[in-house]
Structure 1
Amino acid sequence: MTDPAPPAERRTPPPLPTGPLRPVLVGAMRLARARFHDLRAAIGLVVLAGAALAALLGVTFAWVAHRVRAGSTQAFDEGVLRWVAAHRIPWLESTLLELTFLGTGTVVVTIAGVAALFLTLTRQRTAAALLLWSTLGAILLNNVLKAAFVRPRPELFTWGTHVRTTSFPSGHAMSAAAIYGTVAFLAARLAPQRRTRIAIYAVAAVLIVLVAASRVYLGVHYPTDVAAGLLVGFAWAAFCTAALEAGQFLGGRRRRTGDDGGETGERQPAASTRSNTRSK
């Protein structure tokens, strides 16, 4: 005599990913299901929201770039640098010289690589891929923009560090905004408490501001170079993180495979239908 067949497995819908974009994601999902009755439309709205923010920042960058190319920002840029030159403090300059290296390509790639390795080891493979894509994409995009604008470096006072590339937009500011912003987003997704997430974003914001300010204080960038770099960096980070949220939701439907970010389990074998030991 064999045992009766086990009841059919009940599948529960995958939980939504946690993170700072969760309220936006939930609202978009509800709106799409109510209007379109289509899960793909809901995911599309999330990606569209990130793309819209990226586009808004991109349009603002284009406006700044147009003003810079027309020369209408030159008086402002030089005025700020002259003020900086008249108020330089030796100990602050040496401190910012150390902090500015946090925006170099070697440093940000190293930080992104270590963070991606940690995410991979904790089964956050989608997040790790996003971080590497965000880092390499930001560096490539900055090189393209510099080649397109070819703005000379300011020469109002002796530079506090050595530079070799053109000025617009600031690669350090752009890298800091894109990479540290993305790392903060990914770290905050893993934080269980709201105050911890706030602290993570605060630290990232301070680092970004210090790197950006150091470029002007050391005399190697105009203020508009730095502003443009921040705009493009945040635009790229916004698009990448929105794409991650959408991918994370799709990955939630395969949570037991352990193949997507935020997953911690492996696929469990189906319930066995083997018979118990026959009674004699």
Structure 2
Amino acid sequence: MVDSTPPKGPPEGGAEIEVVTSAFQIIRSRVTTLLGAVGIFLVAGFGLALIGTLGFAELAEHVSAGATQAFDERVLIWLSGQRNPLTDSAMLELTALGTASVVLMVSGVASLFLALNKHKYSALLLVVATLGGLALNMVLKIGFHRPRPEVVVWGAKAFSSSFPSGHAMSAAIVYSTVAYLAARLQKQLWSKVLTMLAALAMIVLICLSRLYLGVHYPSDVAAGVTIGLAWAGFCMATLEGIQRFARRGDHGVERTATEADKKV
């Protein structure tokens, strides 16, 4: 007796699953290869620059239209009601860390340290990021010319226009860039994380001090941080790009990032 039962094939839908799985593996492999060729930090830097720029543009549009004014004023009025002599003193000390003189000193000391240790590209990056950021902030303040808050009594002296916050922008640029450069020299993951968290805390506290003292609106501070991180991200990505070219020796030998940074 002949068995007329048809042979069993693959489970229904199995072929489609195999095709999808294979396609996913191919895409993942090519994305991984692309990131390896371009550099994940290079991509992250330009990504940060793009997101920060778009965020700043959105904030600037809302501020220009007056859409943030009511919220900005409510926040400042509430914060002014929380003032006391002890907190006032602490906030004045914190806000000083975002002044042009202090960020220039921090940048100068860090750049000198990097240069003396032959990290020439890193030292140059920090100088360009700092000076370029200060110049960019000046141009933006002149362009937007937003008056300082008038709904509360200022807790500190303030000059120039309000948008974007120079303290917030300088802090975002200098402290994030210093943390990034320091993390590149560290080997332990936990130390890298702590370094970045310390920079984040510094930026947040400086921004909070500007609001507490009533010299900036929340939208000023947010704009300063977004455009500051955008500029810092662009500078970091540029450094990564330069070093990816410098990592190859005269005979095409791949160098480490540290070796490339020290290459004369």
* TM-score, with structure 2 as normaliser: 0.81
Q: Aligned residue for 1:231?
A: 226
| Cα distance, 1:192–1:44 mapped onto 2, change above 3 Å | closer
Distance 1:173 1:266, change over 3 A: closer
Aligned residues: 231
Which of 163, 178, 181 aligns to 1:168? It is 163
Partner residue, 1:210: 205
Residue segments in structure 2 that go unaligned for 5+ positions in a row = 1-29
Checking the alignment, whether the CA contact within 8 Å between 1:104 and 1:172 is kept in structure 2 is yes
CA change 1:46–1:200 in 2 (3 A) is closer
Per the alignment, residue 258 of structure 2 pairs with 262
Distance of aligned partners of 1:247 and 1:266 in 2 relative to their CA distance in 1, 3 Å threshold: closer
Alpha-carbon distance in 1 for matches of 2:202, 2:35: 37
SS in 1 for 2:147: coil
Whichever residue aligns with residue 221 of structure 1, its letter is H
Task: Give, as a single letter, the amino acid of the residue that structure 2 aligns with 1:164.
Answer: F
Tell me how large the CA RMSD over aligned residues is: 2.5
Alignment of 1:1-280 (within 5 A): 30-31=33-34, 42-43=37-38, 47=42, 49-254=44-249, 262-263=258-259
* CA distance, structure 2, for counterparts of residue 255 and residue 28 of structure 1: 29
Contiguous gaps of at least 5 residues in structure 1: 1-26, 34-41, 268-280
SS at match of 2:216: coil
2:48–2:229 Cα contact (<8 Å) kept: no
Shift of 1:249: 2.0
Instruction: Compare the two structures and name the one with the higher helix fraction.
Output: 2
> What is the CA-CA distance between 1:32 and the residue it aligns to?
6.9
Q: Is the 1:177–1:233 Cα contact (8 Å) retained in structure 2?
A: yes
1:103 is paired with a residue whose SS is: coil
1:50 CA drift (Å): 2.8
Which aligned segments of 4 or more residues in structure 1 are displaced greater than 6 angstroms?
A: 264-267
Q: Is the 8 A contact 1:255 1:265 kept in 2?
A: no
C-alpha contact 1:57 1:232 (8 A) present in aligned 2? yes
Paired with 1:52 and 1:70, the residues of 2 have a C-alpha distance of 27
What TM-score, normalized by structure 1, do the two folds share? 0.76
Please state whether the residue corresponding to 2:112 is helix, strand or coil: helix
* Cα deviation, residue 52, structure 1: 3.5
| CA distance in structure 1 between the partners assigned to 2:74 and 2:145 by the alignment | 21
Q: For the structure 1 residues 254 and 92, does the alpha-carbon distance in structure 2 shift closer, same or farther, using more than 3 Å as the test? A: farther
Counterpart-to-counterpart distance in 1, 2:35 and 2:183? 26
> 1:51 corresponds to which letter in structure 2?
F
In structure 1, the partner of 2:7 is: none
